[in-house]
């Protein structure tokens, strides 16, 4: 307790310098927490959404596997017929071609995501649990079914017009209940309409729904053997790919935050080093009164660690508040929390902050413990 009292007394004796150092560590830690919270939030959101998708297998062109569909429709009608025939042979529940179209910009308020479904296929086959709040669940040849959140965001109601191209306009025939999933932000339209708009007969992907008891891995490999040039991905494979991609993005974000961490570390090292320089005579008196080198070393090192810990805790709090503010926006816009400060992230951030303090304090603490008593007492 005596050592901690001395540490606090020294930090409070230089309030401006200590505060500025604390702010440096706070900014470094909060920026790291905020950057990495996107990885945690995306990981949680992706896995949550993947678990809600009905079809167990997604077939895409070979070489475009991963999370999401091919950027351009590349599955031909002939390939789909081959997949459909193979699916019948394997006894699957359904083989569903689909096509995606995006309209608008980066702002969620001006973006529209259309998913084309074959005639007779309702959205609840792909997204179990979705229900119609108003109108019908299955769109007609010239109609659309709109997710609850995108309808609310853009003021769409039954009878509203959706212009996909100068020649193609659809009427809203159904509005879905908000279920907190991906379907809330999609507009489901007839597949032939999207093919007409894009001027293609191809598909973005083919989704395969299984019957109870069928094993997704076995069916996926059988489809790949039966139809060359495609990759059949199971939900678990997509999850593993997404996890690898998120880990890479985590490393990139951590690398960016290292700049702020380095600045914070230099601030801590500067503060502790200046403190050592100003207290050389004090250390000499301590040594003359019997204090050992190890006591001086621990005293100085604890100052650096305390600054780092306090800055880390405050940075964690600020980062959490920023994460919550971001989630308020993304939940309102797309219905997903894209940032999450988890227990794992919190412990990691505090560990990095303490490591920062330890690294920044080692050299000043070593120098302080090695000051000769005679030289220290000779300082005025």
Per-residue pLDDT of the chain (380 residues; tens, 9 = 90+): 666 776 777 777 677 777 877 887 888 888 888 888 887 777 776 666 655 555 678 888 876 655 455 556 788 999 999 999 999 999 988 899 999 888 765 555 567 889 999 988 888 887 777 888 999 998 888 899 998 888 888 888 999 998 888 888 899 999 998 876 778 888 999 999 999 988 899 998 898 888 888 888 888 899 999 998 888 888 777 666 666 767 777 777 777 777 777 777 777 777 777 777 766 676 677 767 777 878 878 877 888 888 888 888 998 999 899 888 888 887 776 666 778 888 888 898 888 888 888 887 888 778 777 776 655 555 54
H helix runs in the chain, sequence order:
2-13, 15-50, 77-90, 123-126, 148-154, 191-198, 216-226, 235-278, 280-288, 293-334, 343-369, 373-377
Whether 53 maps to a domain, the answer reads: no
Cα distances (angstroms) measured from residue 329 to each of 22, 37, 114, 137, 236:
29, 15, 22, 29, 30
Give the end of a domain, one of 177, 198, 228.
228
**Are both 297 and 357 inside the same structural domain?**
yes
Q: Is residue 255 domain-shared with residue 365, that is, in the same domain?
A: yes
166 and 259 in a single domain? The answer is no
- Tell me, yes or no, whether 94 and 195 share the same domain: yes
Last residue of a domain, one of 199, 228, 257: 228
In a domain, 149, yes or no: yes
- pLDDT value for 47: 64
Q: Are 60 and 231 in contact (CB under 8 A)?
A: yes
Tell me: do 250 and 357 sit in the same domain: yes
Q: Is residue 351 domain-resident?
A: yes
Same domain, 73 and 217: yes
Residues 246 and 195 in one domain: no
124 & 91 share domain:
yes
Are residues 90 and 158 both part of a single domain? yes
pLDDT of res. 349:
86
Three-state secondary-structure class, residue 352: helix
Question: What was the pLDDT predicted at 367?
Answer: 77
Do 103 and 212 fall within a single domain?
yes
Domain count, the chain: 2
Nearest alpha-carbon partner for 28 in 252, 248, 266: 266
> Looking at the domain assignment, is residue 280 inside a domain?
yes
Range of the domain at 90: 63-228
Q: What angle do CA 67, 73, 77 make, to 5 degrees?
A: 115
Q: Strands 205-209 and 161-165, how do they pair?
A: unpaired
Q: For 249-252, which contacts have Cβ atoms below 8 Å and span 24 or more sequence positions?
A: 249/38, 249/39, 249/42, 250/36, 250/39
User: In whole angstroms, what is the distance from residue 156 CA to residue 174 CA?
Assistant: 10
């Amino acid at each position: 307790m005596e050592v901690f009292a001395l540490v606090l007394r020294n930090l409070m004796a230089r309030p401006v310098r200590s505060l500025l150092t604390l702010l440096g560590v706070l900014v470094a830690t909060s920026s790291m927490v905020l950057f990495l919270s996107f990885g945690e939030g995306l990981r949680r959101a992706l896995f949550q959404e993947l678990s809600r998708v009905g079809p167990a297998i997604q077939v895409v062109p070979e070489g475009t596997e991963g999370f999401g569909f091919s950027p351009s429709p590349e599955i031909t009608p002939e390939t789909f017929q081959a997949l459909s025939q193979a699916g019948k042979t394997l006894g699957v529940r359904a083989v569903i071609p689909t096509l995606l179209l995006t309209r608008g910009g980066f702002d969620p308020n001006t973006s529209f995501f259309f998913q084309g479904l074959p005639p007779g296929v309702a959205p609840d086959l792909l997204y179990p649990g979705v229900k119609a709040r108003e109108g019908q669940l299955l769109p007609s040849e010239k109609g659309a079914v709109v997710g609850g959140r995108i309808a609310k965001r853009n003021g769409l109601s039954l009878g509203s017009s959706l212009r996909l191209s100068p020649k193609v306009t659809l009427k809203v025939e159904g509005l879905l209940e908000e279920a907190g999933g991906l379907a809330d932000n999609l507009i489901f339209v007839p597949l032939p309409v999207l093919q007409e708009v894009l001027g293609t007969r191809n598909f973005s992907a083919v989704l395969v729904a299984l019957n109870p008891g069928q094993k997704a891995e076995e069916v996926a490999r059988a489809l790949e053997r039966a139809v060359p040039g495609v990759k059949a991905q199971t939900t678990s494979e997509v999850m593993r790919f997404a996890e690898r991609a998120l880990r890479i993005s985590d490393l990139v974000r951590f690398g960016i935050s290292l700049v702020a961490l380095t600045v914070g570390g230099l601030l801590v090292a500067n503060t502790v080093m200046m403190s050592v320089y100003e207290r050389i005579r004090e250390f000499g008196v301590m040594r003359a009164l019997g204090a050992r080198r190890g006591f001086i070393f621990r005293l100085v090192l604890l100052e650096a660690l305390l600054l780092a810990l306090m800055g880390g805790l405050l940075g964690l709090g600020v980062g959490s508040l920023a994460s919550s503010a971001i989630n308020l926006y993304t939940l309102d816009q797309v219905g997903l929390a894209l940032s999450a400060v988890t227990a794992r992230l919190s412990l990691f951030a505090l560990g990095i902050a303490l490591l920062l303090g330890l690294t920044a304090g080692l050299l000043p603490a070593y120098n302080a413990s090695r000051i000769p008593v005679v030289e220290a007492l000779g300082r005025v």
